[in-house]
Amino acid sequence: MKKKMIVLGIISIFLLASVTTQAALLSNETTIKEKDDQSGYPMGQQSDSKVSVYMGFVAMFPFYKYFYGNPQDNLLINVGDGATVVVYVNYYFCSVEGAKIAIRFDDGSDFAEVVEPEGEYFGTLEIEKYCEPDEEFSITITSYNFDENEHRTYKAYGKTNYYNTDKVSISAGFAVIKGGNWHFADPGVVLYADNNYDVLVGKGTNIDVTLDFCIRCSGVWDWGRVGFGFKGEDMEYISSSGNEYGRLTASKYFNQDETFELEINGKMEDLFAGNYEDTISSFGSTKPYSEDLKCSGDLKWSKVKPGSTVIGSLIIENIGDICSELDWEIESWPTDWGIWTFSSQKGDDLKPEDDSITVDVTIEAPDDRDKFGGIVVVINRNNHDDVCEIPVSLSTSRNRAVDNLFMKLLEQFPLLQRLLNL
């Protein structure tokens, strides 16, 4: 009986201490949410020859120096003929003294780290390198807790290709659900959203949006849940009363020029500390691949015999986004002199990866002796502000037969020569 009373007494003291600790923790801000504009170029987007790639999430908690990492693996990254690949990792520190995270390319091309004092911090760390298509690379993500003797290392791998239009993957952020006293940290919900990204989808593409999550509960008196999905549609939920972590994915087909919103929900219930719940949104939009017309040509002739035929050429290219499609047309050319013929006056669906188009230009020169000029105008039929202008010049020579006859006349009639000299 005495032993039972002692055990009950110990349990009562432990529970009382827990309640007291949780009451103290409740005086702090326990629910944190962050809406952060993506500082780089979101995954799936190519802009100014940069492509952003989300490579994973790491978290650290103080209890038993708990580490968590979820790196991406075997990603296919679209770089076209070549682009700067911006690799970024999201991180979360919870009441960890002297925590540090470092990421680096294994070939030594770039390195970055962040060191935080004890407290609660989260954000994004990124590195970059230029890649050609068909390259493989790996990065090392290392998180340090308290001192560098306690660390975890994670590997992430990627491979570049020219382009794949079947699917685009982006990250929505992360969610952390944490119990209280059991982990010597404030109980609550931490939600972090990557926001305001444009996703290139061409005429339409499947988009996979991922959310990394980490649930840290005692398994005794607290419980956590994470929900994720497109707004207005069924959300996927995962819950745990212990330690649970992973990655949720929401997929949907989008056409160009659409906007979308994803909801990230976090909930924590604690027998002593109470309940915490919050929801934030991650926003994005889709845009078509942008074509870009480029033209060049050699349309300059001199000393052309009147009435003869000359031949030149125009080169037409699409230097826009990968897989964009250009519809072009020769809109105008000089019509007040010569007879013009083009081997082709318009074309459809020209992509950057296609060979350039060569248009043969044939002109029957005027019968007059003179200098002629003008401009050939080529347009992007889907964007009339995208225009090329190629200058044209042609000069005809004198007719030697006529010149010879005139000289003979002057020889036979000297008086005519004198009159011309007056």
Residue 236 in this model has a pLDDT that exceeds 50: yes
CATH number at residue 300: 2.60.40.10
At 326-342, the pLDDT tens digits run 999 999 999 999 999 99
Gap between the Cα atoms of 125 and 277, Å rounded? 27
* Residue 407 placed within a domain: no
At 300-323, the pLDDT tens digits run 999 899 989 999 999 999 988 777
Q: How many CB atoms lie within 10 A of CB 417?
A: 12
* Residue 413 placed within a domain: no
At 244-294, the pLDDT tens digits run 889 999 999 998 889 999 999 999 988 877 888 999 998 888 887 788 999
Asked which of 287, 321, 340 is the last residue of a domain, the reply is 287
* Residue 312 placed within a domain: yes
- Mean pLDDT in residue range 142-149: 71
* Residue 12 placed within a domain: no
Quick one: DSSP state of residue 388?
A: E
Gap between the Cα atoms of 387 and 180, Å rounded? 63
Asked which of 287, 319, 340 is the last residue of a domain, the reply is 287
Residue 351, phi then psi, degrees to nearest 5: -105, 155
- Mark whether 182 and 321 lie in a shared domain: no
Q: Please, which pLDDT band fits residue 99 given cuts at 50, 70 and 90?
A: confident
At 173-212, the pLDDT tens digits run 999 998 765 445 567 899 998 775 678 777 788 888 999 9
Residue 146 in this model has a pLDDT that exceeds 70: no
Quick check: 318 and 350 in contact, CB under 8 A? yes
DSSP three-state, residue 340: strand
Quick check: 158 and 37 in contact, CB under 8 A? no
Range of the domain at 383: 293-401
At residue 126, the pLDDT reads 92
Quick one: DSSP state of residue 43?
A: B
Q: Please, which pLDDT band fits residue 117 given cuts at 50, 70 and 90?
A: low
* Residue 276 placed within a domain: yes
- Mark whether 200 and 115 lie in a shared domain: yes
User: Which of 186-200, 348-362, 405-419 is the least confident region?
Assistant: 405-419
At residue 308, the pLDDT reads 92
- Higher confidence at residue 114 or residue 34? 114
- Higher confidence at residue 350 or residue 73? 350
Residue in this structure with the two tokens 């006859």, named with its chain if needed: 405
- Mark whether 260 and 324 lie in a shared domain: no
- Mark whether 180 and 50 lie in a shared domain: yes
Pull the structure tokens for residue 314: 């125009």
- Mark whether 146 and 260 lie in a shared domain: yes
* Residue 134 placed within a domain: yes
Q: DSSP labels for 259-318?
A: EEEEEEEEEEEETTTEEEEEEEEEEEEEEPPPP-EEEEEE-EEEEEPTT-EEEEEEEEEE
- Those residues whose C-beta lies under 8 Å from the C-beta of residue 143, and which sit 6 or more positions away, are 58, 60, 67, 69, 91, 99, 100, 101, 102, 151, 152
- Mark whether 187 and 335 lie in a shared domain: no
Pull the structure tokens for residue 266: 């976090």
Gap between the Cα atoms of 270 and 356, Å rounded? 65
Quick one: DSSP state of residue 108?
A: S
Gap between the Cα atoms of 294 and 271, Å rounded? 67
Gap between the Cα atoms of 192 and 284, Å rounded? 15
Confidence (pTM)? 0.69
Q: Please, which pLDDT band fits residue 18 given cuts at 50, 70 and 90?
A: very low
- Mark whether 321 and 268 lie in a shared domain: no
Quick check: 150 and 97 in contact, CB under 8 A? no
- Higher confidence at residue 392 or residue 119? 392
Identify the CA nearest to 180 among candidates 6, 28, 404, 5.
Answer: 28
Give the chain's domain count.
Answer: 2
- Mark whether 205 and 297 lie in a shared domain: no
Q: How many residues does the chain have?
A: 422
DSSP three-state, residue 377: strand
- Mark whether 245 and 338 lie in a shared domain: no
- Higher confidence at residue 261 or residue 51? 261
- Those residues whose C-beta lies under 8 Å from the C-beta of residue 67, and which sit 6 or more positions away, are 58, 59, 60, 143, 145, 151, 152
Cα 88 from chain centroid (whole Å): 12
At residue 270, the pLDDT reads 85
* Residue 241 placed within a domain: yes
- Mark whether 254 and 154 lie in a shared domain: yes
Q: Please, which pLDDT band fits residue 148 given cuts at 50, 70 and 90?
A: low
- Mark whether 304 and 213 lie in a shared domain: no
Asked which of 287, 320, 343 is the last residue of a domain, the reply is 287
At residue 72, the pLDDT reads 78
- Mark whether 326 and 375 lie in a shared domain: yes
* Residue 249 placed within a domain: yes
Residue in this structure with the two tokens 């339409």, named with its chain if needed: 204
